[in-house]
Structure formats: structure tokens, C-alpha cells
Chain A
Amino acid sequence: MLNKNIKNKLRKFTLPIVFLVAEILVWEFLTWILKIPDYLLPRPSRIIFEIFSQFGFLLKNLGITMSTAVSGYLIANLLSFITAVIFTHSKTIEKGFYPQIIVLKTIPILALAPLLILWFGIGFVSKIAIVSLVCFFPLLVNTLKGLKTVDEDTLAMFRSLSASKWQIFLKLRLPSSLPYLFSALKISTALSLIGAFVGEFISSNAGLGYLILSYTRTFESSAAFAVLAMSSLAGVLFFGLIAFIEKKIVFWQKPS
């Protein structure tokens, strides 16, 4: 049984891995044949070498970026959830604030980031603020949608049991919002990394975003690519972790 499971999983990964390896080989071959200079497009072997030779250093910077991303992500989770709960309980507050939130959402984060740095300084805090702001809106919109999208018949059933507003919230609205919440949580993993990079681009002296910027300025493209590989690996793992938690918590939902 277990063996079969592992086999199935392996089969699922075989094709993507075969393609990836083939692409890398073609890339290696073409850059070699066409004599493409390293600073434009480094060979995969150079990138891999770079990753291994600087692994500790890359990992340290990855840690810096990820701690920014994850802290901002968690803060955005908390704030958006509280906001969504308040909005579902008071129509007046929701109607009053929602338009402003939409307007705020349309401002590109790149335009807001310098301001946030002005307010919160060049350290950790401003970067977390940027990440939180990027993640906040999709989380809020989806959580709100989840808390409101409750099956009418089920609601009638709760009313027939004379359930209180609080009980309806706890036993019905909250669990039925989870599938929506998790789809936003998954989207936000990538957004949180974008936010962290934006923060590091604007002002920092460490982290993957800072490294990319400084490596490309000095034409150390293979090192920049190594940073890229690390960040995408981190992004995939972050997403995977949330998807794994989703599967455990929202077990009743068939994967889409």
C-alpha cells in the first residue's frame, strides 16, 4: 500500500524532472555552442557551482528574506482576519470602509514602499510593513467572501435550532470560510516574497533581494541566478507547506 503510494508519487514527478533536466542540458549546450558571455546568460553548470560554493552565505540571506516575508505574511493574516470578522458583523463599518480599501488596493506597492520606509525606517519593520500591505488585500477579500458565502439552507437549519449569532459564526461561518481563506493564503505566499524583495530593493544591505541587485550591478550573473534559484525554491516550499496544512485542515474539500 505504502509502496504503491510512493510509486504513484514518483510517477507524478518523473515527467517534470525529465523535462527540467533536458532543458538544463539544452541550455548548457547552447550557451557553450553559441559562446554566450557569462554575464548575459550563465551556464547552468556555473550556476549550480555557484549555489554549492556559496551555499552557507545564500542560506543566511535566504533566512533574512524569508523571516521578513513570513512575519509580514503572519501579520497580514491576523489583521485581515480581524478586519473581515468586524466587517461581517457590522454592515455600516463595512460599507464605510470598503471603498477606501479598494482605492488603497489600487495603489501599486512600489509607489507606497518608499513612504513606508520613510515612516518605519530602513530596518526590518518597514519591510514587514510592505509585505503585510501586499498580502493584506487578497486575504481580506477572500476571508470576507468566505465568511459571507454561507449556504442559505444551512443557515436556516441553524436558525431552526435557535442558534446565536456567535454560534453561527463559530460553528458555521468560520469553518465554511476555510477553503476561501486557504486559497488566499496560498496566493499570498508568493506575494509575501514579492513584498520582501521590494523592501530589499529599496533599502537594505542583506537578503536575497539585495544580493540580486548587487550581483547584477557587478555583472555577476551566475551568482544572481543562484539567488534566483534559492528564492524560487523557498517560494515553492512555502507554498507547499501551506498547501499541506490546507489538506490537513480543509480535509472535506476535494482538491480542485
Chain B
Amino acid sequence: MTPLIKIEKLTKSYNNLKVLNKINFGINEGEFVSIIGPSGCGKTTLLKIIGGLIEPTTGKIKVGEEAARIALKKRKFGFVFQNPVLLPWRNVVQNIELPLEISRDKNFKKTSRALLKIVGLRGFEKYYPNQLSGGMQQRVAIARALIFEPSILLMDEPFGALDEITRSQMNSELLRIWKKEEEKTSTIIFVTHSISEAVFLSDKVIVLSKRPAKIETILNIDLPKQRTMKIKNSKKYYDLIKCLTKILKTN
């Protein structure tokens, strides 16, 4: 199977500061891939390059058959950032529908009503962001990212600002949403700081070294496809966390 996203010898420098150094990897359709690494190593930069928001200095990035920049224009990506970045003067529905207003494209619109159901926020249509908790705000952000039914969801530490309990809840929710969307087999690329989050969610974890970041390891997470809270008690889960911790420590 040819990978959906192909990255070859990708390098990114800002002035003289080399951030990413000869990155190579591929991501298959429908995969949940996490990117983990020390802070400031360029995870976000890599994600933004994949999403076509930043151009690489050298190297190639292909999404399907096209350059990332083109894929962005064709709305192949949904973005979720660390902050929910909701507009405080718009209510939940208006926030979710912002992408529609900007693209003026009514064709492949998923109704905000359906999206609210998916993210578990029915009944909150008319609420304003400052009336919602952090977790709920991030749900709105996820709904907004899903409105064009993107084939690739790019998430940059989306739950990093949440408390541990909410975070774990949102992890399960995200898997549920992802599974629900699975007939469309959306691919998720997920940047995180949290080792346990990466193991629990992913099919594959890409470990970056410190700056200038290269790929340290790509770890396959061979846990059962169906991730439930029970997995968190399994030996395999612990072993994988230990293994990842060791890799991150030595590097």
C-alpha cells in the first residue's frame, strides 16, 4: 500500500537555525499517528508543514498525489490547535460554521447539528465560548475541524491545556469520534507531550530527537484496535510506555 502522506528528506531551517533534519516517513490512510519529542524540537513545525501552512526548506512532502499546499486549499485537512481558538463573539454553532462562511462552499457541508451530536454537545448550540469549560471548548474546536469531513485531522497538543481527568475523557471521546467517522477512514496526526496519551491513542508513534530534530524511532503500537480503559491496565500498555520513556530519556 502506498502511504497517504509521504515525507522525504525534509529539512526546515529558520535563518540559520535548523529545526528539522532529513525527516523521512510515511503515514497510511486511516492510521492514528502520534508525534512525540522533547519540547521545542519542532513537532509543531512538522505538523504545520504536513498541513501545508509552512513550506519546508528542502525535501518533499506529498499528500496523496499533491503538494501539501494544494491539499490545504482542497480542504483535505482539519486542524485542532492547543488552544480551542474559538471566537468569543460567536456562539457554538456560529463557531463551528466559520469554515463554511470562509469558503462559501455549501456542497460538502456536514450540518453543525450532526457535528454537535458527534462531539456530545447537543443542546449547547446557542452557548458562547466563555460559558463553556475547557474540555467543551475543545469539543467545539474538533467539531469545527470536522465540518468539511477532512480526510486528515491534524491535532497539535489538543488536550495539553486540560486537566488529567478531562484529558483522559477527551482521549476516549476522540477515539469514539474517530471510529464513528471510520467509514471515511480519516487519518489523524497527533502531536503530544504525553507518552501515555500517545500510546493509548496511536497505531504508530513517531519519536523525534531534540533540535535539529530527526526521527529517533517509529514505534508500532500493537495494542488491540479497540482501545478501552481496560487497556490501561494491561502489561503491554505499560511495557510500551516504559519503552517510549527510555527512548525519550536516552535522546
Contacts and interface: CB of A to CB of B under 8 A. Distances in A.
B128 A160 contact: no
B231 interface: no
A157 B85 contact: yes
A72 B73 CA distance: 46
Contact of B72 (A154, A156, A160, A171): A160
A175 B94 CA distance: 14
A163 interface: yes
A160 B89 contact: no
A159 B79 CA distance: 11
A252 B89 contact: yes
A162 B103 contact: yes
B101 A160 contact: no
A83 to B, nearest CB: 24
Given A175-B87, A175-B89, A252-B88, A160 B102 contact: no
A171 B128 contact: no
Interface residues of A, number: 19
Given A252-B89, A252-B130, A161 B103 contact: yes
A153 B85 contact: yes
A167 to B, nearest CB: 6
A140 B169 CA distance: 47
Contact of B77 (A157, A160, A163, A252): A160
A158 interface: yes
Contacts of B130: 252, 254
B187 to A, nearest CB: 17
Contacts of A159: 53
Interface residues of B, number: 21
Q: Give the one of B53, B89, B101 with max A CB within 10 A.
A: B89
21 contacts: A153-B83, A153-B85, A154-B85, A156-B53, A156-B85, A157-B81, A157-B85, A159-B53, A160-B53, A160-B72, A160-B79, A161-B98, A162-B73, A163-B102, A167-B102, A171-B98, A172-B87, A252-B129, A252-B130, A253-B88, A254-B130
Given A156-B53, A252-B130, A161 B87 contact: no
Interface of B: 51, 53, 72-73, 77, 79, 81-83, 85, 87-89, 98-99, 101-103, 128-130
Nearest to A159: B53
Q: Give the one of A157, A158, A159, A251 with max B CB within 10 A.
A: A157
B81 A171 contact: no
Contacts of A251: 89
A156 B47 CA distance: 13
B51 A154 contact: no
Contacts of B99: 161
Contacts of B103: 161-162
A151 B101 CA distance: 20
A151 B102 contact: no
B88 to A, nearest CB: 4
A134 B82 CA distance: 43
Contacts of B81: 153, 156-157
Q: Give the one of A151, A154, A160, A252 with max B CB within 10 A.
A: A160
Contact of B102 (A154, A171, A254): A171
A160 B51 CA distance: 8
Contacts of B83: 153
Contact of A154 (B77, B82, B87, B128): B87
Contacts of A162: 72-73, 102-103
A251 B175 CA distance: 36
Nearest to B78: A160
A73 B174 CA distance: 52
Contact of B128 (A157, A158, A172, A252): A252
Contacts of A171: 87, 98, 101-102
A20 to B, nearest CB: 36
Interface in A206-256: 251-254
Contact of A151 (B53, B85, B128): B85
A172 B88 CA distance: 10
Interface in A157-188: 157-163, 167, 171-172, 175
A32 B23 CA distance: 90
The 3 closest A-B pairs by CB, nearest first: A252-B88, A160-B79, A157-B85
Contacts of A161: 98-99, 102-103
A231 B81 CA distance: 52
A144 B101 CA distance: 26
Contacts of B129: 252
Contacts of B88: 252-253
B3 to A, nearest CB: 23
Given A162-B72, A252-B88, A252-B89, A157 B79 contact: yes
